[in-house]
Structure 1
Amino acid sequence: MRKPLLSLIAVAALAGAWAAPALTRAAEEKKTKEVGQYVDLQPVALPIVVDGRLVNYVFVYVRVNLKASADIIKLRDKEPMFRDALVRDGHKTPFVLPNDWQKLDDARLIAAMTRDANAIAPGAVASVTITQQSPQKRVMPPRPAPPDMP
């Protein structure tokens, strides 16, 4: 009776020794992936307008990353202001890519949103990122222009 009990204790000790490094690795990974302060905007549908014609909408998810010293509660209450600025920019000058009507021009959108976010929350914005883009419908890419004939 003692042998099965001792072997069961040995197996339990080995399992604990094997699991301990895995737990410490998970804790270390969690520490390295510390999440900073941010404001996630509700999804916004931005138009794709080509030659004055509405071709598609792209739903964009934007995150405004904040500095560590920012007042997160106060700035999360300003989320509608961030979203409104994004909608105004997207309709004033659509962020259209000339070769793809299912995505937005990331660089132009981020530049415009960073400018607006800094105006809304001066000194609190670290960066702006686009977390996701989803087109309303699948649209064929534009055809290349035919070559000019002499």
Structure 2
Amino acid sequence: MLSSGMSYRALTLALALLTLTGPAHAAEKSREVGQYVDLQPVALPIVVQGRLVNYVFVYVRVNFRNGVDIARVRDKEPMFRDALVRQGHRTPFVVPNDWKRVDEAKLVAALTRDAAAITGPNVVSSVVVTSQAPQKSVITPGA
């Protein structure tokens, strides 16, 4: 039941105004984006003595400097992934005593170089491996 001072018409008007301002506020929030791009997960091979022993799924974030046209560089996400796959197959990022993860330092160094070549100089601030997940649990000999 409505209070004596509020009519159905006033309530309807108030609800309509809330409905109209809600999406506008949500659109403002969606425009607030970080200066980074998260790559889709990439399966990188673990190759030991010419033999494929595992795959590790890596999740990588490429961070950009402030002031970069983020929409332009986000469109390059497939190029970053392609560069990572090519590097990972050319020279696998193998940790000699652990076949369930990749060598993050080597991966970061390689992708940082490739990302800078893709975007141009002074665009990429850093590359970070955010997560790794092996396809299967394998036992490293001698471990």
TM-score by length of 2: 0.75
SS of corresponding position for 2:141:
coil
- Residues 81-132 of structure 1: CA deviation (Å, up to 9, x unaligned): 0000000000000000000000000100000000000000112100000000
> Which blocks of at least 5 consecutive residues in structure 2 are unaligned?
1-32
Task: Please give the alpha-carbon distance, in whole angstroms, between the structure 2 residues aligned to 1:36 and 1:67.
Answer: 10
* Equivalent pair of 1:100/1:142 in contact (CA under 8 Å): no
> Which blocks of at least 5 consecutive residues in structure 1 are unaligned?
1-34, 145-150
Residue of structure 1 in register with 2:5 after alignment? none
Residue of structure 1 in register with 2:73 after alignment? 75
Task: Please give the alpha-carbon distance, in whole angstroms, between the structure 2 residues aligned to 1:40 and 1:140.
Answer: 30
Task: Please give the alpha-carbon distance, in whole angstroms, between the structure 1 residues aligned to 2:78 and 2:46.
Answer: 22
Aligned residue pairs, count: 111
- Amino acid of the structure 1 residue aligned with 2:40: Q
Residue of structure 1 in register with 2:123 after alignment? 124
What CA RMSD, in Å, does the superposition of the two structures yield over aligned residues? 1.5
**Which residues of 2 match residues 14-93 of structure 1 at below 5 A?**
36-93=34-91
TM-score by length of 1: 0.71
Aligned-pair identity (%): 69
Stretches (4+) displaced over 6 A = none
- Amino acid of the structure 2 residue aligned with 1:132: S
SS of corresponding position for 2:108:
helix
Greater C-alpha Rg: 1
User: What is the aligned counterpart of 2:111 among 105, 110, 113?
Assistant: 113
